[in-house]
Amino acid sequence: MRITVIGTGYVGLVSGVCFSNLGNEVTCVDKDKSKIDMLLRGEVPIFEPGLKDLIEHNVSENRLSFTSDLSKSVKSAEIIIIAVGTPSLPNGEANLQYIEQAVREVAVALNGYKIIMTKSTVPVGTNEHIASIMSELTAHNFDVVSVPEFLREGSAVKDTFHPDRIVIGVNNKRAEQQICDLHKPLTENIIVTDVRSAEMIKYASNAFLATKISFINEVANICEKVGADVTMVAKGMGQDRRIGPSFLSAGIGYGGSCFPKDTDALIQIAGNVEYNFKLLRAVVEVNKDQRFNVTNKLMDVYRDLKDKTITIWGLAFKPNTDDVREAPSIEIVETLVKLGAKLKVYDPIAMEKFRVFSGIVGLEYCNNAMEAAAGSDAICLLTEWDEFSNIDLQELGKVVRTPVLIDGRNVFDENKLVNSKFQYYSIGRPHFN
Ligand code: NAD
């Protein structure tokens, strides 16, 4: 099939590349010319394991191309995938300006029947709104289909090729057949729904996962006070098939470009129909507090952080991505700077994005984990990159000024720490030394 993908971010670029690898002819479009220029030079604007090789392969097979000429690429496509951002407005509602702009541009470029397939996460009713914008601007026929995206940054290529399920929200048999055919090579587990239900499935899924995270984080906070170990509690809970083991890792809370904005948006979606989503409000509140678990523990160790050198290990909101949007690291670093600490920071991939995105000045960016730890009064681990959990603790003990380790993601084996010289704190587990 001939496909145009609008928006070459984490979702659009990965989807476009994966669809081209399945034999489709794909053009990826972005209005950010610098991204397209990078892609045309063979560079990849985001870090995602496996993506660069797939791009090179499919470009060389002439199935994948990049352009900022939306109009031309729309004309030659059968399916137009919308994968632009839907960030939060100040009130938490999804900002649909990028969707609306893209749809307008698509509508005026239309030269015959096409399917508009929305992958961006959009509030219930948005695809109907898209159809009405289109109808105003074009006389050509079209169908609007909702195919919400569930990939995870850091394993986006794998998730795209091996999805748990594909949800297709569609009100028309012809479009249903074509979109099912497009996805059949990926999975047999295709769930066809009406459009509104598909839109809701995406928000409900993210809200549920966020709920699991905030739930286990609250359990962790109680474990600390009653002397239980949250990792064992989670293991014992997760073996119950009704609960399941995933998303039960206690830590400093969720971040990223999806869970925070999608939980906020669902609260707003509910509010718009006069429903108070009390449970989800609590999930969000718990998550906002949880990141301060790290700073509170630091304050317990040192009453005053003025002139203390604190190491931050990990800035990305999770490992294997360079994405720092809504990463807990931003607020933690801001807080520590305000408290007068000197910060040495290190992340294997996300430092440049953090520097630009956070705008926080006065940090010392380091080349590796050991360099960041040298001369430090405490190490705070915020992202569970393997590089940190694999570190040689003996060597680490030699380079720090004071051996204090605050593990915000419970990555260290407690048995290794119990006999070390480190004062070791983690989340919801006993502390040592
Ligand atoms: P992103 O910010 O990484 O990329 C969006 C891209 O769209 C940008 O490159 C931007 O320049 C481009 N764009 C905006 N308006 C445009 C226009 N009119 N024409 C052409 N390009 C345009 O966003 P993302 O993380 O890929 O997310 C996209 C959507 O997918 C969001 O709705 C998000 O909620 C959803 N989603 C994201 C993830 C994820 O893990 N990132 C997972 C599932 C769903």
Give the gyration radius of the chain's Cα atoms.
23
The answer to whether residue 383 is domain-embedded is yes
Asked whether 253 lines ligand 1 (CB < 6 A), one says: no
What pLDDT score was predicted for residue 242?
98
> Rounded to two decimals, what is the model's pTM?
0.95
Q: What is the CATH number of the domain that holds 168?
A: 3.40.50.720
Distance CA 247, CA 236 (A): 14
Same domain for 22 and 82: yes
Among candidate residues 232, 254, 288, the one where a domain is terminated: 288
Name the residue of 6, 10, 166 whose CB sits within 8 Å of the most ligand 1 atoms, as the mutation to test its pocket.
Answer: 10
Q: Inform me whether the pLDDT recorded for 319 exceeds 90.
A: yes
Active-site residue set: 258
Note the pLDDT tens digit of each residue in 207-246.
Answer: 999 999 999 999 999 999 999 999 999 999 999 999 999 9
The answer to whether residue 431 is domain-embedded is no
Q: Complex ipTM, two decimals? A: 0.99
Same domain for 188 and 141: yes
Domain carrying residue 353:
291-425
Same domain for 110 and 136: yes
* CA 210 to ligand 1 centroid distance, Å: 20
The answer to whether residue 396 is domain-embedded is yes
Among candidate residues 142, 161, 193, the one where a domain is terminated: 193
Among candidate residues 288, 319, 341, the one where a domain is terminated: 288
Closest to 19 measured CA to CA, from 151, 153, 193: 151
| Edge-to-edge strand list for the sheet holding 404-407 | 364-365, 342-346, 309-313, 378-381, 404-407, 423-425
Asked whether 29 lines ligand 1 (CB < 6 A), one says: yes
Same domain for 75 and 33: yes
Same domain for 15 and 144: yes
Same domain for 231 and 345: no
Number of folded domains that form the chain: 3
The answer to whether residue 409 is domain-embedded is yes
Beta bridge partners of 25: 2
Same domain for 223 and 186: no
Residue given tokens 């705008």 in the structure block: 359
- Ligand 1 atom nearest the C-alpha of 150 is 43
Asked whether 106 lines ligand 1 (CB < 6 A), one says: no
Same domain for 309 and 277: no
Q: Inform me whether the pLDDT recorded for 416 exceeds 90.
A: no
Report how far apart, in Å, the C-alpha atoms of 118 and of each of 86, 102, 282, 338 are. Answer: 12, 11, 30, 42
* CA 28 to ligand 1 centroid distance, Å: 12
* CA 85 to ligand 1 centroid distance, Å: 3
Same domain for 255 and 381: no
